[in-house]
Structure 1
Amino acid sequence: MASHPRQALRFHIIVNARSGRMDAQSKCATIRKILDECGRDYILHVVHDAKALRAIAKKTVDEARRDGGVVVIAGGDGSINMVAQAVLGSGCTFAVLPQGTFNYFGRTHGIPEDLEQAVRAMLMASVCPVQVGMVNNRIFLVNASLGLYPKLLEDREVYKRQLGRSRLVALWSAIVTIWRQHRNLRIRIDQDGETRDLLTQTVFVGNNRLQLEQVGIPPAAQPGDGRLAVVTLRPVGKFSLFGLLLRGAAGTLDAADSVDSFAATDMTIKPRFALSAWSKVALDGEIFWLRSPLRFKVASEPLLLLKPANAATGVADGLHYGHENIDK
């Protein structure tokens, strides 16, 4: 059974005011109530402007390093990514209070989506190493993609601002996006010593078993043990894309002839014909412009995640490390 974190440990908590359905005041009140009840030491940083998150994350990591505390983010997968980018390599322990729409990272590691339950689970958690994906100098915990998938995410954000954050809104947005015309990608992939040219509508690189299992990607292509999952889609028409959307919902995506999936430990993607040296890439739901070529690999060190005791198995995302009590 996992041991409890020592009482003197301070939690440095970043709250993304815009994530989830609860307002910032309610989130902070819930967090304060539980931590005060348990006599725990903590500092709250509330972020109202997403543009300020990166700077606040860096400052918070510096504070946590000085007192040996834990860096905590209450937000969606995009916010988690931004804070994890600052935490990785710092030696700090990392904790997550999922507040997004899909919460793939939190759900994969058994962290409750209910905020009160997540805070209580954090107090009973143990340190577990988690594999981190990288593309150039940016990390991703759930997925990285280029082509059609980033466009789906961009359009989804527009609809969320108009209609609110929900999985139903996300589905409707995907249907509308698929109906439009899209440009195919002509790329060259160098993967584990092999080179091939490809015409594809999207390239999806996954680092989250839950998301990939839900759409039907087979175990042989799953991430873990230093591997990332790669999914490509051959050019198809609109109605075939709708069919693929249904297959993904049913968990049978890999049975489609137009879908290819494989595992890779080191992969470079570069456009065969490009007017710009920059590529639009989605990382855990956030859009970035990265300079080509794009090199995908697993980070040289894991993220030290506080994982709930009832979800702890000693193996995180295929990384074979022993559990470490946070008291150490």
Structure 2
Amino acid sequence: MAVDAPDAFSASTPLFIVANAGSGHDAADDTRAAMTKVFTAAGRSHEFVLIEKGGDVVAAAQDAVERARAVRGAVIAAGGDGTISAVAQQAADSGVLFGIVPLGTFNYFARVHGVPQDAAAAARALLTATPQPTQVGCVNNRSFLVNASLGLYPELLEDREAYKQRYGRSRLVALVSGLRSLLREQRQLHLEFGIDGEIRRIKTPTLFVGNNRLQLERVGLDDAAALDDGHLVAVHPRPIGALAMLGLTLRGALGRLGDADQVQSLVFRELEVRPRRWARRRIKVGIDGEIVWMRLPLRFRAKPGALQFLMPAPAARAAVE
């Protein structure tokens, strides 16, 4: 698909905001009200494209992107990492300007770019933002902003979502669900890596491909700087049991994962991953917190500058925490 050159971003650029629909006193209603107040006070043309409960975020993102393209507008994702990633994919494919109002639990993409975590402050930051070409990762035909993974990590995501549905969304709930998952017996993946014409064979409980410098730095991986040079970073532990995996998780929480002998990492621009011990055609992949089934082999690649991200002006940026 041909991508047009990005439009300039100015006070006359209309905004099309993809957001979850609320219900009366729902927090989503309060968030939209806060954004509306900011944009109305600034005289900024804006329109919400709502994701109804149980609705399709991809369809809403496509709708918003088409509306933005028709009037040289910008599309804004208001939500967590999954919503932001889904809207970013459509924006990157079309060349439309893309901004965010982060509403999730971890918000790694927002934090690494200094986007304020408060909805009103993030909306104000959009008013003076500047388009900046930003890298996305890609696995097969799906883009990701933060990470993509297979094996244990997608299982952790599924367990975390189940716990959140039952106990609410918080980092404590995410931690408890993760510990429970880690203590189960770990299934091992037998994989082949194809990189630079070379085949490497590995056995691991999980493969993690990172595209977010902050997330990699926080767990203590020195390869995080490679993202700035148009690379992605693949991380995988050697075959280990549940208690050893728990130990690695604690190391990561202390920012010392890179010192662990059981952990290996690989910096790459393109990487093909295929199973070598079973004849399955599809595999479960975690992409920015969402679970999808993808056809094998998996082809990962970095796409530097693929997304025209609306970066907050220095004075509007939040400190990276």
Same fold (TM over 0.5): yes
Q: Partner residue of 1:6?
A: 10
Q: TM-score, normalised by structure 2?
A: 0.92
Q: Partner residue of 1:100?
A: 104
Contact 2:213 2:227 in 1 (8 A): yes
May I ask how many residue pairs the two structures share in their alignment? 308
Tell me how far apart the structure 2 counterparts of residues 284 and 55 of structure 1 sit (CA, whole Å): 18
Tell me how far apart the structure 1 counterparts of residues 16 and 82 of structure 2 sit (CA, whole Å): 19
After superposing the two structures, state which structure 1 stretch, 213-222 or 34-43, moved more: 213-222
Q: TM-score, normalised by structure 1?
A: 0.90
Q: Partner residue of 1:211?
A: 215
Aligned-pair identity in percent equals 46
1:143 paired to 2:125:
no
Q: Partner residue of 2:125?
A: 121
Deviation, structure 1 residue 260: 0.5
1:77 paired to 2:81:
yes
Contact 1:185 1:201 in 2 (8 A): yes
Q: Which runs of 5+ in 1 are unaligned?
A: 314-328
Deviation, structure 1 residue 8: 1.5
Contact 2:50 2:60 in 1 (8 A): no
How do 1:1-328 residues align onto structure 2 when only pairs under 5 Å count? Answer: 5-17=9-21, 23-219=27-223, 222-299=226-303, 301-310=305-314
Tell me how far apart the structure 2 counterparts of residues 192 and 226 of structure 1 sit (CA, whole Å): 16
Tell me how far apart the structure 2 counterparts of residues 302 and 170 of structure 1 sit (CA, whole Å): 31
Deviation, structure 1 residue 182: 2.1
Deviation, structure 1 residue 173: 0.7
Contact 1:126 1:309 in 2 (8 A): yes
Deviation, structure 1 residue 99: 0.4
Tell me how far apart the structure 2 counterparts of residues 28 and 312 of structure 1 sit (CA, whole Å): 20
Tell me how far apart the structure 1 counterparts of residues 169 and 178 of structure 2 sit (CA, whole Å): 14
Contact 1:17 1:23 in 2 (8 A): no
After superposing the two structures, state which structure 1 stretch, 128-137 or 233-242, moved more: 233-242
Tell me how far apart the structure 1 counterparts of residues 265 and 287 of structure 2 sit (CA, whole Å): 19
Contact 1:126 1:312 in 2 (8 A): no
The one-letter code matched in structure 1 to 2:48 is: L
Tell me how far apart the structure 1 counterparts of residues 305 and 316 of structure 2 sit (CA, whole Å): 19
Which consecutive segments of 4 or more residues in structure 1 shift more than 6 A? none
- Alpha-carbon deviations, 1:104-149, whole Å to 9, x = none? 0111111011111100111111111110100101111100000111
The one-letter code matched in structure 1 to 2:174 is: A
Contact 1:16 1:79 in 2 (8 A): no
The one-letter code matched in structure 2 to 1:71 is: V
Deviation, structure 1 residue 9: 1.1
Tell me how far apart the structure 2 counterparts of residues 50 and 247 of structure 1 sit (CA, whole Å): 37
Deviation, structure 1 residue 297: 0.3
Alignment RMSD (CA, Å): 1.9
